[in-house]
Structure 1
Amino acid sequence: MHYGICNLSIIPLRIEPDDASEMVSQLLFGEHFKVLEVRKNWSKIRVAFDNYEGWVDKKQYEEISEELFLSIESSSTILSAEIIDFVTKTDQSFLTIPIGSCLPFYSNQQLVINTTNYQYEGKIFDKKLTKNSIIEIAYIFLNTPYLWGGKSPFGIDCSGFTQMVYKLCGYKLLRDASQQATQGEVLSFIEESEPGDLAFFDNNEGTITHVGIIMNDNYIIHAHGKVRIDRIDHSGIFNIDTQRHSHKLRVIKKII
């Protein structure tokens, strides 16, 4: 088994080993993974955080040893808390990183990947936040453009949004909406929900295709065109711009 870590800002995770293939997710700086298969220019990987699989360009990550992989796995997770910031190498070159980037072995504003030392002077997330913090963190991404497979403030999809918000608060969600819907406790009615619970929505075939975070007073924040706030009722999401329902409610889940 081989292992790797993302040493660039944001790299695409694709469904097939081709630059023109669909992007299904992204890796942010500092995310580590197992390498399942290697081809000439591509590697199929399994992300350590959520076990999501896809293909990445071999030029866009750094190989690490099994020992280092396991050491990262056993160490505490520390994430960058600035919407956009940078890490500086010892040669004074720097790399921009988005919020939610991992900072391996972070201590006293220093982190290290293999033999490369970096300095990061921004704010960090280093502990679990309360459920009351979920909406506050969700607001960070407000008006972020929708991007299929995206996980950053420059472009994000519906499940990438919910996953990143929960991750910044110290909790693990799976990557896709249909996967996230398998987690947590089912709630029977919107009235039972609390801010921070997740609402899932399905298509005409009954497949869950959308997720959002419930807010107070029957509002929901979700990624649809952009990260936006709309109304939610027993039928689904009521778009405040079009004055029409845009998504059909399937289930509400309490994760924490």
Structure 2
Amino acid sequence: MKRNYSVLILLFTLGLILTCTHCRRGDEDLQALVEDIGHRFAPDSRVAIWSVKIERRHGTPTLTGETTVPQAVEALRDSLEARGQSVQWDVRVLPVPAYRSTPFGVVTISVTNLRGIPDRGGELVTQAILGTPVRRYKRNDYWDLIQTPDGYLGWVDRGTITWMDSTEFTRWRQSLRCLVTVPYALVLADSGDTAETVSDAVAGSLLEYSTVRDGYWWVRFPDGRTGKLRQSDAVDFRSWLRSSRPMPDQLLLTAKRFRGFPYLWGGTSTKGFDCSGFTKTVYFLQGWLLPRDASQQVTVGQLVTRSVDFELLQPGDLLFFGRKATADEPEHATHVGLYLGNTEFIHSSGRVKINSLDSTRANFNQYRYDHFLQARRILSDSTVPVLKRQEWYVQTTEVDRHE
């Protein structure tokens, strides 16, 4: 009897081991599928969230987590259905329900900081300037996770954004707005030397206006504040969009206006630029919407050359620098500058400055020369987004109607 009891225990243990092994293999296959979907639909965590994992709840595989990509969820469901695999679902598609009625927002201060985590000590990953439209996904105490028009995600102090429903956001996109074109401007409560300041503004800021009178734009902030902006500091946004025809000369003039401005990691405003924030801002002020980081900007435009060849380079080309490819790793762009012509380029490194890739020049930069990766041309590439076609900023039908 004792021997039979031992055999039963052994058989039960073997069965349990086989069951656990089967479950583990099943979970591993499921995890591989989840990761494959993530690589396909959300390969860059800077612009998309795919945080999905597998848990065992009462012996049943359960998918948990969250994502900003509903198409990825549908693809995963279809794949599981094709496999005949049954799972429990606890995956949240962002935005959270509380934000679905007011998912849009517009920055209401001159520059707001986006951080990697919801904490003031978190890394500054990027910035958004006054009048930038954003989407929000979830909250954490006083912070909102938002996405900017270039797709970048980050945590922002919610008090720096005015939130809107779809009707309010449509009205804002159709409104009269002016675009700040000077590096730095002030919005005043009244005209005159002793007028109180309502807010500051940086190049690229957008403000609604009601009229232009006595040398001032009469402007309105997204949060309802009003004031006067010097007329020479801005242009009508819609007219600017219709007339914007990016030319190398204008691009270079814009870039040189920021010479000497300070470097700031994560900076995309005239209060401080990092390298890609500088090139992004310069192109934005000519009507283009570049990706945020150097490693993203290197994926757009047309490849010009992978070596320093002055015969091939043209003013306005983006020059990329970084880690060269090896047998084990691909190249990785970590720095970007704007080619000026005559062997020189302008970039933000310590400050916005001009260097040369010609070893005979006094401003030659050996380090950048040694780490040159490639040059890309934006101005002749119709696939790079332009602001006049961005639904974030305008109703494109309105622009088309006036062209």
TM-score by length of 1: 0.88
* 1:43 and 1:55 in contact (8 A); partners too: yes
Map of 1:82-101 to 2, 5 A cutoff?
82-89=182-189, 93-101=197-205
Aligned to 1:20: 121
* Count of residue pairs brought into register by the alignment: 252
Q: Do the aligned partners of residues 208 and 77 (structure 1) sit closer, same or farther apart at CA in structure 2, a change above 3 Å counting?
A: farther
Q: Do the aligned partners of residues 58 and 195 (structure 1) sit closer, same or farther apart at CA in structure 2, a change above 3 Å counting?
A: same
Cα distance in 2, alignment partners of residues 196 and 11 from structure 1:
28
Cα distance in 2, alignment partners of residues 229 and 246 from structure 1:
12
Q: Give structure 1 regions of 4+ aligned residues with deviation exceeding 6 angstroms.
A: none
* 1:239 and 1:246 in contact (8 A); partners too: no
* 1:13 and 1:24 in contact (8 A); partners too: yes
1:252 aligns with 2:337: no
Aligned to 1:227: 352
1:193 aligns with 2:313: yes
Cα distance in 1, alignment partners of residues 210 and 314 from structure 2:
34
Cα distance in 1, alignment partners of residues 176 and 315 from structure 2:
27
Aligned to 1:110: 218
Identity %: 29
1:215 Cα shift? 0.9
Out of 24, 32, 41, the residue aligned to residue 142 of structure 2 is 41
Cα distance in 2, alignment partners of residues 232 and 244 from structure 1:
8
* Structure 1 gaps, min length 5: none
* 2:313 and 2:341 in contact (8 A); partners too: no
Map of 1:45-84 to 2, 5 A cutoff?
45-48=146-149, 50-73=150-173, 78-84=178-184
1:111 Cα shift? 3.0
1:142 aligns with 2:250: no
1:107 Cα shift? 4.8
Cα distance in 1, alignment partners of residues 155 and 310 from structure 2:
39
Q: Do the aligned partners of residues 70 and 239 (structure 1) sit closer, same or farther apart at CA in structure 2, a change above 3 Å counting?
A: farther
Cα distance in 1, alignment partners of residues 218 and 162 from structure 2:
19
String of CA shifts for 1:158-191, please: whole Å, max 9, x gaps: 0000010011111111111111111111113442
Higher relative contact order (CA 8 A, sep 6+): 1
C-alpha RMSD of matched pairs (Å): 2.6
1:59 Cα shift? 2.2
Aligned to 1:123: 233
1:162 aligns with 2:279: yes
Cα distance in 2, alignment partners of residues 165 and 242 from structure 1:
23
Aligned to 2:108: 7
- Where is the helix percentage greater, Structure 1 or Structure 2? 2
TM-score by length of 2: 0.57
Give the 3-state SS of the residue equivalent to 2:255 in structure 1. Answer: helix
Give the 3-state SS of the residue equivalent to 1:215 in structure 2. Answer: strand
1:15 Cα shift? 0.8
Aligned to 1:210: 335
Partner amino acid, structure 1, of 2:299? T
Greater Cα shift, 75-84 or 222-231: 75-84
Partner amino acid, structure 1, of 2:278? F
String of CA shifts for 1:188-214, please: whole Å, max 9, x gaps: 344222111111112256211111000
Cα distance in 2, alignment partners of residues 227 and 5 from structure 1:
28
Give the 3-state SS of the residue equivalent to 2:257 in structure 1. Answer: helix
> Which structure has the larger Rg over C-alpha atoms?
2
